[in-house]
Amino acid sequence: MSLEELLSGPVVDAARGLLGRRLTSTIGGNPTSIVILEVEAYSGEEDPASHAFGGETPRNEAMFGPPGGLYVYRSYGIHWCMNVVCGPVGTARAVLLRGGMATEGIEVMERRRGRSINLTDGPGKLCQAMGVDGSLDRSNVFHGPVTISGEPVPGSISASRRIGITKAVVREWRFVLERY
């Protein structure tokens, strides 16, 4: 299945299908890449844990856009986080990219993070390491400075509850690629 088809379908399928693919940024002329290992699905206005619950606002407007768009926001006013928009325009479904394994530009990531360990094992760390900030909100993963490519690497996927939310906590919509 192509990435375009994957992101046009159901958000849980998209979340699972993003695991094992390559996420690359070319911010500041410095290419960095990871293999996506951890994601969470959010189903828009029908999901009380989604930023789109309650409708469109200036903050979440990117979520209502076309599949493949990036919704980049600040978490707790501190860390940038990025989501890939899924499903038809107007549905506000998105997949939070939570973490991955660094594969290219590790020195750049280390410089951006100011450390050599735990570079991309959380959504805020991932954005910092890859140079992602709010200026990339509404860009897209097909031809922007942040792209997703390749076929998923093989492995087993585990599902669990999403992290750091207080609503819709029983949904097991956090997915992790293990044994790849």
Number of domains composing the chain = 1
In sequence order, the 6+-apart residues with CB closer than 8 A to the CB of 145 are: 25, 26, 27, 136, 139
pLDDT tens digits, 37-69? 999 999 999 999 999 999 999 999 999 999 999
Listing DSSP states for 130-170 in one string gives HT--GGGTT-BTTTSSEEEESPPPP-EEEEEPPSS-SSSTT
How many other CB atoms are found less than 10 A from the CB of residue 63?
27
Range of the domain at 35: 3-178
**Residue 33 backbone phi and psi in degrees, to 5:** -145, 150
Task: Answer yes or no: are the C-beta atoms of 14 and 6 closer than 8 Å.
Answer: yes
Residue 141 has pLDDT above 70, yes or no: yes
Please determine, for residue 145, whether its predicted confidence score (pLDDT) is greater than 90.
Answer: yes
Determine the Cα–Cα distance for residues 163 and 99; give it in Å rounded to an integer: 13
Report pLDDT for 44: 93
Cα separation, 178 vs 40, in Å, equals: 15
CATH number at residue 31: 3.10.300.10
pTM of the entire predicted model: 0.96
Token duo for residue 12: 């849980």
